[in-house]
Homo-oligomer: A and B are copies of this chain.
């Protein structure tokens, strides 16, 4: 599939920044120069550059130019702002990921599940408990709740590989956005057992809860990810906006 022009330019500039073609603190070519280089309109350049800004790769300054502020140390681990499956981020970080399914069951949402997940009572749900290993170490314990009507045909085999791959490639679902909340919670006996934790060492952990939507506007997934505290690391680039 041919990508859009601004995405190609974005990717090209990103590569050039990552490979050090522009040094730290150096200005990129002006928008006008990039227009000539890529043979496109200024708007298209600006779209590509604005993605680099949200990635924290560059900063733009009116009257001056676009400055490279990328430093290679940033590559590490998980980056907030995008949605990624465990399999995808493992590959991106060149690590070997494995997934073990601890539980796989179908259930009907009751009041208690409604309060936890937001799925209305009576909804048919797949509940899956999975353990994600990175380089042989159990790092993340996931409690997944999938709305059966939106994600029919889930199996243990799919859950062991990649549920997102199944949803996107087989069911042709389009995953759009995910509302996430990060908190710190006490570890449970289940965490202790499967993540090989010692409650005398760490007694709490990072928990990421997410409500995920598809392009039909359906909230089809609620997931609670429980992360080993000593390996948890989330990155983010924040942009200062004028106070509204």
**What is A's interface to B at a CB cutoff of 8 Å?**
3, 7, 11, 25, 53-54, 56, 59, 61, 67, 69, 74, 80-83, 88, 174-186, 202-206, 210, 213, 215, 217, 227, 229-230, 232-244
Contact of A176 among B202, B229, B235, B240 (CB under 8 A): B240
Q: How far is the CA of A125 from the CA of B125 in the complex (A)?
A: 55
Contact A83 B178, CB 8 Å, known A59-B217, A205-B184, A232-B184: no
Q: Is the CB of B67 within 8 A of A237?
A: no
A-B contact pairs, 19 of them (CB 8 A): A61-B217, A67-B217, A69-B213, A82-B238, A82-B239, A82-B240, A83-B238, A83-B239, A83-B240, A178-B237, A179-B235, A179-B236, A179-B238, A182-B232, A182-B233, A183-B234, A184-B230, A202-B203, A203-B203
**A62 CB to nearest chain B CB (Å):** 9
Contact of A177 among B11, B59, B80, B176 (CB under 8 A): B59
**Closest 10 pairs between A and B when the two form their complex, measured CB to CB:** A184-B229, A83-B240, A182-B234, A178-B238, A180-B236, A175-B240, A83-B238, A67-B217, A203-B203, A184-B206
Q: How far is the CA of A233 from the CA of B183 in the complex (A)?
A: 5
Q: Is the CB of A202 within 8 A of B215?
A: no
Q: How far is the CA of A230 from the CA of B234 in the complex (A)?
A: 19
Q: Is the CB of A184 within 8 A of B204?
A: yes
Residues of B within 8 A of A240 (CB): 82-83, 174-178
A182, closest chain B residue (CB):
B234
Q: How far is the CA of A83 from the CA of B177 in the complex (A)?
A: 21
Q: Is the CB of A242 within 8 A of B3?
A: yes
A239, closest chain B residue (CB):
B177
Contact of A81 among B81, B182, B230, B243 (CB under 8 A): B81
Contact A80 B25, CB 8 Å, known A182-B182, A184-B229, A217-B69: no
**A205 CB to nearest chain B CB (Å):** 7
Q: Is the CB of B83 within 8 A of A80?
A: no
Known pairs A59-B213, A178-B237, A178-B240 / 6 extra A-B pairs, C-beta < 8 Å: A83-B238, A179-B235, A180-B238, A182-B182, A182-B232, A203-B203
